[in-house]
Structure 1
Amino acid sequence: MSAVDLLIAAGVALLAGGVNSVAGGGSLILFPTLVALGLGTVAANVTNSVAQWPGYLGGVAGFRAEYAGQRSRLIRFGVVALLGGTAGSVLLLTTPTEAFDVVVPVLVLLASLLLAVQPLLTRRLRAAVDDGRRRDPSWLYVALFVATVYGGYFGGALGVILVGILGVGLHRLKLANAMKSALSAVTATVSLVVFALFGPVHWAVVAVAAPASLVGGFLGARIATRIPTTPLRIFIVVFGLAVSIYLFARV
């Protein structure tokens, strides 16, 4: 890649890191950019996953105030993301992508619609209360595992899917958005290790895109914590629908 190509990759990575923190879906900005710059689809996917890893860490740092009192939940969800991310990363390197690519637009569309009706579902799906705190429903762990398998495999719009799932399971959109960043970071860390060892990573792109993604992730998280719940929900739903249309067009 030329110096101009690398500069373009860095700029898009900055934007993608911010989008990942605010709503998720930054991969759908950086991945097609890398393909347009000349990388093959598998190499672009792997490089995209490695390059955006620091951005997820920046998002976690930006949301740190939201994690107060959530240590136990973070550990439980983190273990699920570790297992799911590992499974998805191994699948990417050992199986063809065609079949899963057909499913991806449907997953993103359903996640967006799920988030859109989240207030109604919250009223109807009240979890049991124990000492003033809700127990996390068992289906939430299964859904998070499936989502992080997808995240390890491709990862585009993983944040949209996670926010949709967590928004219903936790009944608190801002906490769901913060948890999304933490689980995305765990999934991305697993992908980083697997892809760095066994995947066709373009390290020159990673060298410029990773720092940009870190800055973008932190700035995006700081913005997201200041957005009221209703506008944040509307933004994420609209963004998710746009992402699903983009993915349907690629099938």
Structure 2
Amino acid sequence: MTLAQAGFLLTTAIIGGALTAIAGGGGFVLFPALIFAGLPSINANATATVAGWLGCGVSLAAYRDELSAQRRISVVLGSISLIGATVGAVLLIYTPTVAFDRLVPYLLLFSTLLFAGGGKITSWLHSHLGELNQASWRSLIIASFIQFFIAVYGGFYGAGVAILILAALEMLGMKDIHKMNALKMLLMTCMSSFAVITFAIAGVIVWQPAILMMLGTIIGGYGGAYYARRLKQHLIKHFVIVVGFLMTCYFFIR
């Protein structure tokens, strides 16, 4: 790895860490950067997961107040995320690269539209399932079922998973974007933790760029989370939607 490549990967990781903390989508910065650096796509995907792992974890420090107010749902959904992400990571190892490359833009389009129309979907859920409340076990069971499949996708590929998490949380009646972001970062950390273990055992991680980019995502992740909490909620939501559509367009064109 040359000095120019190292500088490029570090800068990209800082941007990716901040983007993940604010709205999700950091994987769409980290993954292409590693491809440009010459890594095969499977190795780039696994290495990008490692690179974003500590960035997600460190950003939790900026959300400690929001997480302390919702401990039960954090424990339940966090545990489900560990299981689902492990399943997804194993699926990735045994899936041909061409197959998941073709699937990614469609999943992103679906998740972005889901988040953009979250208000209408929430109203539909309320009318058919009754009032959803994250403090009830009924709602936790529904949330756990949805989160398991999101976590499978998160372990399988990961890019855009933040948008899926935010969409699911909004459907389940959460209104505060800062609390949603706090849970998003917690669940993404849980997903990455077990995915990293699986990828490490399989030997598909390239550690030199992974460690360098891990440093960048730590810087960007904490800074992004810090400033995201000081922005107006509707601005953050609009930013998430714009990022989602931009990422979707990129991967349809790619």
Q: TM-score, normalised by structure 1?
A: 0.92
Cross-structure match for 1:15: 15
**Counterpart Cα distance in 2 of 1:133 and 1:88:** 28
Correspondence 1:222 to 2:226:
yes
Correspondence 1:151 to 2:150:
no
**Counterpart Cα distance in 1 of 2:162 and 2:13:** 16
1:58/1:216 contact within 8 Å kept: no
**Matches of residues 192-207 of structure 1 in structure 2 within 5 Å?**
192-207=196-211
Bigger drift between 101-110 and 157-166 goes to 101-110
* 1:98 shift after superposition: 2.6
- C-alpha change, 1:133 and 1:200, in structure 2 (3 Å) is closer
**Matches of residues 57-206 of structure 1 in structure 2 within 5 Å?**
57-126=57-126, 127-128=130-131, 133=135, 136=139, 138-172=141-175, 173-206=177-210
Q: Secondary structure at the match of 1:170?
A: coil
The two structures, once aligned, show a CA RMSD in angstroms of 1.8
**Counterpart Cα distance in 2 of 1:236 and 1:243:** 11
* 1:162 shift after superposition: 1.1
Q: Secondary structure at the match of 1:136?
A: helix
List alignment gaps of at least 5 residues for structure 1. Answer: none
Identity of aligned residues (%): 31
2:21/2:224 contact within 8 Å kept: yes
List alignment gaps of at least 5 residues for structure 2. Answer: none
Q: Secondary structure at the match of 2:17?
A: helix
- C-alpha change, 1:70 and 1:39, in structure 2 (3 Å) is same
**Counterpart Cα distance in 2 of 1:93 and 1:196:** 11
**Counterpart Cα distance in 2 of 1:90 and 1:119:** 34
1:23/1:159 contact within 8 Å kept: yes
- C-alpha change, 1:129 and 1:205, in structure 2 (3 Å) is closer
Bigger drift between 114-123 and 229-238 goes to 114-123
- Which amino acid counterpart does residue 166 of structure 1 have in structure 2? L
**Counterpart Cα distance in 1 of 2:116 and 2:68:** 27
Q: Secondary structure at the match of 2:172?
A: helix
1:122/1:171 contact within 8 Å kept: no
Cross-structure match for 1:244: 248
* 1:137 shift after superposition: 5.8
Bigger drift between 138-147 and 203-212 goes to 138-147
2:77/2:143 contact within 8 Å kept: no
* 1:226 shift after superposition: 1.2
2:132/2:172 contact within 8 Å kept: no
**Counterpart Cα distance in 2 of 1:155 and 1:133:** 28
- Which amino acid counterpart does residue 169 of structure 2 have in structure 1? L
- Which amino acid counterpart does residue 16 of structure 2 have in structure 1? A
- Which amino acid counterpart does residue 149 of structure 2 have in structure 1? V
After superposition, the C-alpha distances for 1:32-81 in whole angstroms (9 at most, x for unaligned) are: 11111111111111111111111011221111121122111111101110
1:19/1:220 contact within 8 Å kept: yes
- C-alpha change, 1:129 and 1:163, in structure 2 (3 Å) is closer
**Counterpart Cα distance in 2 of 1:73 and 1:210:** 28
Q: TM-score, normalised by structure 2?
A: 0.91
Question: Aligned residues, how many?
Answer: 249
